[in-house]
């Protein structure tokens, strides 16, 4: 295969098959960072609505209790857990801790992120 750009090479970048865990860790870290940054901007815009007084606050509460917003909040929790736990893995390997088992550590931390997201989801949708 030559080193020239082609549609096949471009589409290969989006092919999830045959990816190593390190590649998944890199992709997840970048996507969650972008998602959390977008959430911060949205959060600040929504909070600015609270400056409208009691009416703004009441409409905000109705909006915040909708299932769509709750699902979005669950995605933020998932992104925060994935990004944070993956960051811990990166810090440990940067200091030479767990370098030989970082693949297993990655999958363990992603399982913890999944469990944490499920626990948060349970409380968000069924308890609160």
How far is the first Cα of the chain from the last one, in angstroms, to the nearest whole number? 56
Q: What is the pLDDT of residues 43-88, one digit of tens each?
A: 888 888 778 888 877 888 888 888 999 999 999 999 999 999 999 9
Q: Residue 59: give the domain boundaries.
A: 22-127
- Cβ(28)–Cβ(82) below 8 Å: yes
Judge whether 10 lies within some domain: no
Judge whether 114 lies within some domain: yes
Q: Which residue has the higher pLDDT, 12 or 112?
A: 112
The yes-or-no verdict on residue 1 having pLDDT over 70 is no
Q: What is the pLDDT of residues 84-110, one digit of tens each?
A: 999 999 999 999 999 999 999 999 999
Judge whether 11 lies within some domain: no
Phi-psi region of 4 (alpha: psi -120 to 50; beta: other; left: phi over 0): beta
Tally of domains within the chain: 1
CATH number for the domain that contains residue 101:
1.20.1300.10
The yes-or-no verdict on residue 15 having pLDDT over 80 is no
């Amino acid at each position: 295969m030559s080193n020239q750009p082609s549609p096949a090479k471009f589409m290969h970048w989006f092919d999830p098959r045959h990816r190593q865990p390190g590649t998944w860790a890199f992709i997840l870290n970048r996507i969650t960072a972008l998602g959390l940054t977008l959430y911060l901007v949205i959060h600040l815009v929504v909070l600015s609505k609270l400056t409208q007084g009691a009416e703004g606050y009441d409409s905000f509460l109705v909006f915040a209790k909708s299932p769509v917003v709750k699902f979005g909040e669950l995605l933020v929790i998932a992104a925060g857990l994935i990004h944070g736990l993956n960051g811990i893995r990166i810090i440990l390997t940067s200091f030479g801790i767990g370098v030989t088992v970082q693949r297993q550590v990655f999958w363990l931390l992603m399982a913890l992120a999944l469990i944490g997201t499920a626990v948060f989801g349970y409380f968000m949708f069924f308890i609160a």
